[in-house]
Amino acid sequence: MRLEEHILLETPDFVVVNKPSGMLTLPDRHDNELTSLIAVMKKAYGEIFTVHRLDRDTSGIILFARNEAAHKYFSQLFESRDVEKYYLGLVHGVPMPEKGAVNEGIMEHPVQKGKMVTNRKGKASLTDYEVLESFGLYSLMKWRIHTGRTHQIRVHMKHLGHPIAVDELYGSPQPVLLSSIKKKFKLGKHTEEERPLLSRLALHAAMLVFKDPSGKTYTVEAPLPKDINAVVTQLRKNR
């Protein structure tokens, strides 16, 4: 990964990066061979601090602190929920109502390691959601999370019965194929197998709104990645 292509904003106190899907934020405890974003950042910046993280398959905005004072400040900012976090993504079907909130506690799955479930005994979790465009088969959605639970949007969308597309933990691992969207789809003469439009989790951390230590407000956006955008383009074409 060429880091400079992924940097959205840089100041003496923090760096905001657009993380590619498939990359870990922090090193894997069991597999040291896997590249993590923090390792790439440390190589480039030397001293760098993690403030929050994204799931491996989620793409989008991550903020890193560049010194200890900033790390303390931003960690408290995220903990006290004084950061606005917005996500975009694709889900199966069309959630009804098209705008609302999911206020369901989240806890670890009693049996499956690494999986979360909604449960009244879980940690309080609040997700606002809105359908931006519905295409029947899929919907393009926007979320704002008020809490930062593990897999929060994924768990809450499963709870609504509209899991995120290509979510092997909470929905279906099946990739998004053009043949499922386009009515008169034909494979090219020399193509034996269809190449998926999207073969990773359709979730993207799109916008972060926060104040820096001096009180200046920043709004940082990461555009929808090419692969998710390709699906949206085809869905619009083949409504």
Catalytic annotation, residues: 55
Distance CA 30, CA 18 (A): 25
CB atoms closer than 10 angstroms to residue 189: 5
Distance CA 205, CA 223 (A): 9
Distance CA 32, CA 25 (A): 13
Residue 196 is classified by DSSP as P
Cis ω for the linkage preceding 97 (within 30 of 0): yes
**SS3 state at 158:** helix
Give the phi and the psi of residue 47 in degrees, each rounded to 5: -80, 125
In 3D, which of 68, 60, 19 has the Cα closest to residue 39?
Answer: 19
Which positions ≥6 away from 87 have C-beta within 8 Å?
Answer: 58, 60, 142, 143, 144, 145, 153, 203, 204, 205, 206
Residues 89/139, Cβ–Cβ less than 8 Å: no
